[in-house]
Amino acid sequence: EVVTTAIDDGQSSDLLLHDDENPNSNGSINNVQSGAGLSDHNKCWRTILFQLVASSILLVATVLSGTLIFGTLGRTPQKLAVLDESCERAARHIKRQNIQLLALDFDLTVIDLHTGGRWKGTPEELSKHVRPEIQCLLNSAFNQKIDTAIVTFSTQIDLIGNVTGQIFPGQHIPVHGWYTANDGKQAHLAKAINDINAANGNKNISNDTTILIDDDKRNIKIARKDGYLTVRYDPEADNPLFLVESLMNMNSQ
C-alpha cells in the first residue's frame, strides 16, 4: 500500500510571494502581479515534478509487491518462476524460524472460491481452482520437510483429499474437516498436531511452531490468542506474492 501526501499549493504560493505581500515592501502592484505570474510558473513545474516522483514511487512499490508482476498481465512461465523462487525463500525462512506445520484453510484460501461444503462437480473440476501461489508454497514446504494439513469446516473431506492428491501426487496432506465453528479452527489444529506427533515420535509440534493460513478474520484472531502464528489470506487481493511476503516477514514467538 502506497500513501501519497498532497502538497498545499496555496501555502507554497504564499511562501514565494511573501516579499511582495509584505506591507513594508516598496514593491508596486505591478511587481506583485509579476511575482504572482512567476509563482504560477514555478508552481506548475513543481506540480509536474511531484507527480513524476509520486508516479515513480508508486511504480516501484507496485513492482515490489508483485501486483504488476502478476496482476492482470497473466501468469507467464517467467512470472511463475519468480513465484517459485519466492516460495522457496519463504519456506527456507520459516524453516529457520522452527516452523514445523503449515495448516491451511480450504475455501477461499487453497482454492479461489467457496464451495460451502456442497460441491457438486468432480475433484478434477475443483482442482482447477487451486491457487498457484498455494500450490507453489506447499511444494516448497515439502522440499523443506515442513508438515502440512488442511483445516476446514467443510464436510467434504474425501473430495478435498482427492483434490490435493491430484495437485500434489505422491504427497499426503491430512484433511481435518467439520467440527463446530464456535471455537474457530482450534479443534482442527489440535487434531492435526496430535496426529503428526503421535505418528512421529521424534516430532514435537506445538502451537508456536504452527502457522494457520486462513481468509477468515475470526479464525485468525482466535488462533492467535491461543498462541498460533497466523497469516490472513485476503481473497480480494490480486497479488500472489502477498502470502510469501507475509511469511518472509514472520518471526516465531
Residue 49: pLDDT over 60: yes
pLDDT tens-digit readout, 138-155: 999 999 999 999 999 999
Under the banding of pLDDT at 50, 70 and 90, the label for residue 81 is confident
Q: Please check the confidence at residue 103 and state whether its pLDDT lies above 50.
A: yes
What's the pLDDT band for 80 if we cut at 50, 70, 90? confident
Q: What is the CA radius of gyration of the chain?
A: 27
Residue 144, pLDDT score: 98
Q: Do 96 and 248 meet the contact criterion of CB atoms below 8 Å apart? A: no
Least confident of 60-69, 94-103, 206-215: 60-69
So what's the pLDDT on residue 147? 98
Short-list 231, 242, 219, 217, CA closest to 152: 219
pLDDT value at residue 67: 44
Q: Residue 54's pLDDT band (boundaries 50, 70, 90)?
A: low
- Distance from C-alpha of 41 to C-alpha of 157, rounded to nearest angstrom: 68
Q: How far apart are the first and last CA of the chain?
A: 26
Share of the chain above pLDDT 70, in %: 69
Which tens digits make up the pLDDT trace of 175-227?
A: 999 887 789 999 999 999 999 999 998 899 999 999 999 999 999 999 999 99
Question: 213 phi and psi, to 5 degrees?
Answer: -115, 115
Could you tell me how many helices (H) and strands (E) the chain has, helices first?
9, 5
Confidence of residue 51 (pLDDT cuts 50, 70, 90): low
Residue scoring higher pLDDT (137 or 178)? 137
